[in-house]
Amino acid sequence: MTLISWNTLNTLNVGEIDAQHHRLIALVNELHQTMTSAQGADKLNRVLLELIEFTKLHFATEEKFMTGYAYPAYEQHKKEHEVLLGDIEQLLQRFRNGDFLIPFAIELDLESWALRHIETHDKPLGDYLNSKGVF
């Protein structure tokens, strides 16, 4: 079952960021599939790690665009990224300590957070970059 589909996503018209959003959503869906098909803890751990590493890379990419083009709301946007990463890393630690319900919390967090964040923070960034000729 696919949790989030492409067409529920806001397109920014910035190729690199859009491609990363698609990859992120694919990873959230993979996490969902891994949990619902009761695959081993090893596989779950791998998918979670990949998701977190890719999220870091994605945030760094957006922050690079923001500083490169003097985006006025940079601090606020970066703060949102930091809060989410902090939350997810805490959840991952609890998972490693044996709380096997945690991946569900991570999935829900990422799902609702990503859709809301893309709409309210990434979309305005995309509009700003487009206005600077970045696509």
Please, what is the minimum distance in Å from the beta carbon of residue 73 to Fe ion? 10
Q: At what angle do helices 74-96 and 102-117 cross, to 10 degrees?
A: 170
Nearer to Fe ion, 85 or 94 (CB): 85
Please, what is the minimum distance in Å from the beta carbon of residue 125 to Fe ion? 7
Residues between 46 and 65 that touch Fe ion (CB under 5 A):
62
Can residue 107 be called a binding residue for Fe ion (CB under 5 A)? Answer: no
Task: Say how many C-beta atoms besides its own lie within 10 A of residue 130's C-beta.
Answer: 13
Chain residues in the site for Fe ion (CB under 5 A): 62, 122
